[in-house]
Structure 1
Amino acid sequence: MGKPPREFLEYSSSELIEMLSEQQGMTFKVKKIDGQFIHTFCSGRLLSKIGLTPQEVTGKRLGDFYPAELAAYKESFYRDAWQGKEGIIYESEFHGVFYLVSLQPMRRLGGVVELIASCVDISELKTREQELRETKELLESLYESSVDGICIMDVGGKVIRINHAFEKIYGWPESELIGRQAPMIPAHLENRFDEICKHLHTQKAIHFETVRPRKDGKTIHVFLTLSPIKDENDAIIALTGITRDISERKKSEDFYRKADKLNAVGQLAAGLAHEIRNPLTSLRGFLQIMQSGRVNKKEYFDIMLSEIDRINSIVNEFLVIAKPVRTKFQKQDLIHILHSVITLLETQAALNNIEIRTKVEDGFPLVECSEMEIKQVFVNILKNAIEAMPCGGVIRIHARVQEGSVMIRIADEGVGISESQFPRLGEPFFTTKEKGTGLGLMMCYKIIGDHKGGININSVVNEGTTIDVILPA
């Protein structure tokens, strides 16, 4: 060491004072002189943080540098410590800085001769406490003001706490449910909370609808969400059950479901009338021609029988609604079906001064389809084309093979369809015709869709409409 003991002590004392002045907190000493508590030492960075210097504190009373109210508050702790009370800890605040003071009496010859205090800055801690307090108040407000019923349960499903909305939904007050099985949990899940907790370890929440009883015995439809409350080790320590009463929504759904059924019945009735009217019109036209005695073609009898069969087929389709059956597809000659439809509508076209021209490319393959349904599509499209040409003209039909599919293009020279009407094409009861129902095109879309095909429509007002029917080859 090489230094005399006195010099060594002086060196250590100065080093200690320097160390105390560099500490983040603050240390001070107090003695009682002439009945007054006088500060004999004060050092540390916290001192400057609260806006004081050692010179302003050393040799001074509390009232010399603190407001009277704060000085009186702190002096009460000085008195307790001077009387020998151990372990005095209190909080103080000055100039927006919060600090924690630990006050310790120093005894000599059986009496207290000095107080030593150690202070720690807790401003950041107080800020966090305030933030936590505000967050807690916010969550508490949301918890109590929520329109959804909230129930906090232990991992066994026993109620810990519920909010006011939960009481209102189920009718039980909180006092009657604490410690009991939560009433929103269905019976089949009451003994499966171990499974639920395991599931919630990997999932954020479980959602399901169920029907639960109220305290008054009435049943309500609820949408239930179960979510976990976890500790810092990711272990589930509780569960939250959020209940939303959806009884009114269910009533509305039932109402609209019934309304949809009635609407569907109306559409079916209109569709039936629409689809039967086409062959009936053809039959009536052939009968009028035959009644006039001008023609007597045997082929007309075959067509009329075919139309009667079609009426029967349409009726059978509606009967299938009660007992649906899968449509049976067979390889069919699409061109033969197309020519039979053209023959069927030739007379009506001629009466409207319309010529139907057909072009079929070589090598047209057989196509797997339902003959009756495809015939129904061609009839609807050609009939629409005829009705769109009140001043006559030409309907051009082009059948060609594409890569992996076949296409039948039917182009008229009619009034066309405006661009604003395109998005609604195919909707039930939307039509561009004065007496149309819109069901014909809707059924065409459905039939071709069932055949894994598609319908493309292009149209220009006052120039005509082109419809491409595409089917898998």
Structure 2
Amino acid sequence: MGKPLIDLLEYSHEELLGMLLEQQGMTFKFKNIEGQFIHTFCTGQLLSKIGLTSQEVIGRRLKDFLPEDFAVEKEVFYSQAWEGKDEVSYEGELLGVTYLASLRPIKRQGEVVEVIASCVDITERRTSEKELLETKELLESLYESSVDGICIMDTEGNVIRINPAFEKIYGWSEAELLGKPAPMFPAHLGNRPEEICRLLHSDKKLIHLETVRPRKDGENIHVFLTVSPIKAANDDIIALTGIARDISERKKMEDFYRKADKLNAVGQLAAGLAHEIRNPLTSLRGFLQIMQSGQVNKEEYFDIMLSEIDRINSIVNEFLVIAKPYQSKFQKNDLIRILQGVVTLLEAQAALNNIKIMTEVEECFPCVECSEMEIKQVFVNILKNAIEAMPSGGVIRISACVQEGNALIRFIDQGVGISENQFHRLGEPFFTTKEKGTGLGLMMCYKIIGDHKGGINIHSVVHEGTTFDITLPLQE
């Protein structure tokens, strides 16, 4: 019985040594021999990571295989463990490897006879902690130095923390707002934090909005607000982050430029109107001076003067249509009926110019929500332009169809065409390619079709003709 038991103990001892040798960390023991801490055992994978072998450690002191200052520092912990202190631990670093050593005294009859230690590699943990700390410091720096106001709230919308920029924008200090509803939300969201959370839980990961909010001193400010969730590992929203940017100055500048654009547009219209009216007025003044001299028969100039007065009246009327505010009355109308009425109206004028108008209409063409008078005005303007662009006669083709959910009315003429360098100016007041035009007619067409949420597309080739496409949205 004795020999098999001895064999079993030897096998167990070898098995234990093998396990210790293969461990990821390191295990070592030491004793105090004549006042010196001598290592009696050392093994494990960590040993090679720090550049040592068992032979270099066993039977030697710390200072025999470590730098002296490092060894002196660690011997303090060795002494504490030898004096009987339980759970002595320290961190060390060799060859870029950080390890944690835990020392535990082994006692017999109350006296420490040996100290056993285990070491684990904590390099990755320390690297992660360092990166986490650096990230935290970076985020804290961005939080504190951000020019945008940042407010962290609980899911009830109460303030947990605000940054200095938030205090500057709204005027309240963190102490005044802590635990109270955040002053950044407009009325329709301020009292419904659960609605905000519901929106953020859906596909809408962020909420963006512009609003006007009061400061502590009562002044209203324009802010651009972004609300985003702070989520736990299980995707539950545990807090909210609100970022507010003061855009009051931007709003003032936008308002300034808007007014400047209006003044610029008014100035252009006024200059154009003055230029268009000045020519016939100059003619009228000249004829009146001639008639005043009594040298000619007055009746000869009456028709010319009346024509010039009519031209002035026409320009003023078109200008008044642009300037006069009115509310369009939209209702379902038959575009084909309106179009045929316009064709009938202008067929005689077209015939006098040796022009034939041909129409092609898709069957079952739907009604369109529009203002009949305005759409009729657009059709008249475009068809008249086509007729006047064809002094040598020809054919004007008009087609109507449904395309991509829109009603498409297309006018194709065989006129003189429009050059590419003039395209970008089409629709400007008083810009025209016709000798006696004012440009106000096409400008009104753009305005009317724009009010109808439609579009005008022009394609033209010089000496070949022009195509006008008018699209108007169809409703279900």
What TM-score range do you get, normalising by the shorter chain? Answer: 0.7 to 0.9
Distance 1:35 1:372, change over 3 A: closer
Q: Partner of 1:358 in structure 2?
A: 355
Residue 208 (structure 1) shift: 1.8
Q: SS of the counterpart of 1:133?
A: helix
Residues 1:255 and 1:276: Cα distance change in structure 2 (over 3 Å): same
Q: Which moved more, 1:224-233 or 1:404-413?
A: 404-413
Aligned-residue offset at 1:233? 1.6
Q: Post-superposition shift, 1:408?
A: 4.7
Name the structure 1 match of 2:231: 230
Q: Do the aligned partners of 2:50 and 2:94 also contact (CA within 8 Å) in 1?
A: yes
Does the 8 Å CA contact 1:270/1:437 hold for their aligned counterparts? Answer: no
Deviation at 1:14, TM superposition (A): 1.7
CA distance in 1, matches of 2:316, 2:428: 26
Structure 1's unaligned 5+ residue stretches are: 281-290, 296-302, 347-355, 387-393
Q: In the alignment, what sits opposite 2:393?
A: 396
Distance 2:12 2:42 in 1: 18
Give the corresponding residue for 2:290: none
Secondary structure of the residue aligned to 1:395 is coil
* Residues 237-273 of structure 1 deviation map (CA, whole Å, 9 limit, x = unaligned): 2111100101112112222333344455557768988
Asked if the contact 1:428/1:438 (under 8 Å) is kept, the reply is: yes
Picking from 306, 325, 341, the partner of 2:329 is 325
Which aligned pairs between 1:176-325 and structure 2 lie closer than 5 A? 176-202=176-202, 203-263=204-264, 265=266, 314=318, 317-318=321-322, 321-325=325-329
TM-score of the pair, normalised by structure 1 = 0.77
Q: Deviations over 1:71-98 (max 9, x none)?
A: 1221111111111111222211111001
Deviation of 1:359 after TM superposition, in Å, equals 2.7
Identity, % of aligned positions: 57
Q: CA deviation at 1:399?
A: 2.9
Counterpart Cα distance in 2 of 1:72 and 1:143 = 43
What is the match of residue 442 of structure 1? 443
Shift of 1:149: 0.7
Contact 1:397-1:408 within 8 A present in 2 as well: no
The residue aligned with 1:338 is 346
SS of structure 2 residue aligned to 1:100: strand
Structure 1 pair 274–335 and aligned structure 2 pair: CA distance change class (3 A): farther
Which letter does structure 1 place at the counterpart of 2:414?
A: A
- Partners of 1:257 and 1:459 in 2: CA distance: 36
1:410 paired residue number: 413
Contact kept in structure 2, 1:333 and 1:365, CA below 8 Å: no
The answer for the alignment partner of 2:83 in structure 1 is 83
Distance across 2 between alignment mates of 1:229 and 1:236: 6
Residues 196, 167 of structure 1: alpha-carbon distance in 2 compared, 3 angstrom cutoff: same
Judged with a 3 Å threshold, the aligned counterparts in structure 2 of structure 1 residues 146 and 234 are, in CA distance, closer, same or farther, namely same
- The 8 Å contact of residues 377 and 447 in structure 1, kept in 2 or not, is answered as no
Q: Taking structure 1 as reference, are residues 37 and 227 closer, same or farther at Cα in structure 2, changes over 3 Å only? A: same
1:168 partner SS: helix
- Note if contact 1:104-1:115 (Cα within 8 Å) is conserved in structure 2: yes
User: For 2:90, what is the secondary structure of its paired residue?
Assistant: strand
Deviation at 1:109, TM superposition (A): 1.1
Deviation at 1:234, TM superposition (A): 1.4
Residue of structure 2 in register with 1:390 after alignment: none
What SS does the corresponding residue of 1:4 show, helix, strand or coil?
A: helix
> In the alignment, is the contact (CA less than 8 A) between 2:381 and 2:442 conserved in 1?
no
Task: Report the counterpart of residue 349 of structure 1 in structure 2.
Answer: none
Code of the aligned partner of 1:420: N
**What letter corresponds to residue 457 of structure 1 in structure 2?**
H
Q: Deviations over 1:78-133 (max 9, x none)?
A: 11111111122221111100111111111001111111101111111112112212
After superposition, give the CA deviation of every residue in 1:119-174 in whole Å (9 maximum; x if it has no partner). Answer: 11111111211221222222222222222111111222222222221122122233
Q: Which amino acid in 1 is paired with 2:176?
A: E
CA distance in structure 2 between the partners assigned to 1:451 and 1:190 by the alignment: 35
Cα 1:90–1:374 shift into 2, 3 Å: same
Q: Following the alignment from structure 1 to structure 2, what is the Cα–Cα distance between the partners of residues 454 and 277?
A: 32
* Alpha-carbon separation, structure 2, partners of 1:150 and 1:22: 52
Distance 1:279 1:253 in 2: 40
CA contact (8 A) 1:28 1:116 kept: yes
TM-score (norm 2): 0.76
The CA distance in 2 between the partners of 1:253 and 1:395, in whole Å, is 50
Match of 2:405 in 1: none
User: How many angstroms apart in 2 are the aligned matches of 1:201 and 1:455?
Assistant: 43
Amino acid at match of 1:218: E
Structure 2 vs 1, CA of residues 438 and 50 (structure 1 numbering), >3 Å: closer, same or farther?
A: farther
CA contact (8 A) 1:279 1:310 kept: no
CA RMSD in angstroms comes to 4.4
Displacement of 1:470: 5.5
2:382 match: 377
Aligned residue for 2:356, secondary structure, equals: strand
CA contact (8 A) 1:274 1:437 kept: no
Stretches of structure 2 that go unaligned for 5 or more consecutive residues are 282-298, 402-407, 472-476
Superimposed CA distance per residue, residues 400-431 of structure 1 (whole angstroms, 9 cap, x where no aligned partner):
36574876543345xx6443333443345655
Tell me by how many angstroms 1:454 deviates. Answer: 5.3
**C-alpha distance 401-48 of structure 1, shift in aligned 2 (>3 A):** same
C-alpha separation between the residues in 2 aligned to 1:47 and 1:26?
A: 6
Correspondence for 1:96 = 96
CA contact under 8 A between 2:361 and 2:400: conserved in structure 1? Answer: no
Find the counterpart in structure 1 of residue 38 from structure 2.
38
State the AA in 1 paired with 2:23: Q
CA distance in 1: counterparts of 2:300 and 2:161, whole angstroms: 90
Deviates more, 1:319-328 or 1:264-273: 264-273
Counterpart code for 1:192: R
SS in 1 for 2:210: strand
